[in-house]
Amino acid sequence: MAAERSTADILDAALHVREAARSVTSGGSGVGTVLTALSQVMEYDHASLARWDPRRRRHTTLAGSYPDRATAYIENRLHHDPMFPVLRAPARGGLWLRDAPRHLLAASPGFQEVLSPLGIEDGVAQCLFAADGRYVGMLNVSTRGPRRAPDPARAVVTLLTEALAAAVGPRAAPPPEEVPAPAPDARRPGGLSPRELQVLAELTAGRTNREIAGRLHITPRTVGTHIEHILAKLDLPNRAAAAARAAAWGIGPSH
């Protein structure tokens, strides 16, 4: 059995992961080298990097070593798994299998039908977000038997998420002008309604729901509903990310 790697070795391996991630092309070519480099951070039996396609509402595997059935689950069913809302919580780093609540594992088809039959006992599922808050994809890493990632490796995987997100996400969400516009409403940024655009503009000023309601002459509850619709349509995790998107589009409140 190989000697356990030192923290310095793991950090050095992490630098190679970052270098490999920077070399990935916009089409995803080179993602396999990222996973190869990641194997030096932590040993694994299976791993994959998948890109989220917001229009097709599914993941697309860019590189991976899972069996076909597991890959199909990641691509087509994982985002419906009861575990996925936990995985995608913006405040969460990654969810390591041995840390997962037992009741959630019991309710997860992904674990019960896919991972458990493979003998998976540990690993991590890590959602990846772009700098503007967009969900762009996912890292999945799985190990069989007693093998466990050392604590430094667990921390490093979390620190690598920005680089991994950049590797999988360049074309995850085309700019609005590249999205086909079959109807007039779709020509508005993100397909938002005029009222939703007004609410989005107010978010850039950091206003509360009550303040926005007063300015737009609607109720705070209605503002909250509009914000929920905005986050869903733009596939964003929170109002701060929505404000960042609005700023990127040049949208701001009227004075």
Check residue 233 and give left, alpha or beta (phi > 0: left; psi -120 to 50: alpha): alpha
Q: Domains of the chain: which residue ranges?
A: 7-168, 176-248
pLDDT recorded at residue 185:
42
In the chain, how long is the greatest CA-to-CA distance?
69
Q: What is the pLDDT along the chain (255 residues), one digit of tens a residue?
A: 344 667 888 888 889 999 999 888 877 788 999 999 999 998 999 999 999 998 889 999 999 999 999 999 999 999 999 888 888 875 566 888 888 888 889 999 999 999 999 999 999 999 998 877 888 999 999 999 767 777 788 888 888 888 999 899 854 344 443 433 334 343 456 778 888 888 988 988 888 999 999 888 899 999 999 998 888 888 888 888 888 888 777 787 765
pLDDT recorded at residue 104:
87
- Other Cβ atoms closer than 10 A to 215: 16
Can you tell me the distance from the alpha carbon of 251 to that of 247, in angstroms, rounded to the nearest whole number?
A: 6
pLDDT recorded at residue 178:
40
CATH class as words, domain 176-248: mainly alpha
Interacting residues of 48 by C-beta distance below 8 A, sequence separation 6+:
35, 61, 63, 64, 65, 66, 71, 74, 139, 140
pLDDT recorded at residue 183:
41
Interacting residues of 118 by C-beta distance below 8 A, sequence separation 6+:
46, 67, 70, 142, 144
CATH topology of domain 7-168: Beta-Lactamase (3.30.450)
| Cα atoms found within 13 Å of the Cα of residue 125, Cβ hemisphere only | 22
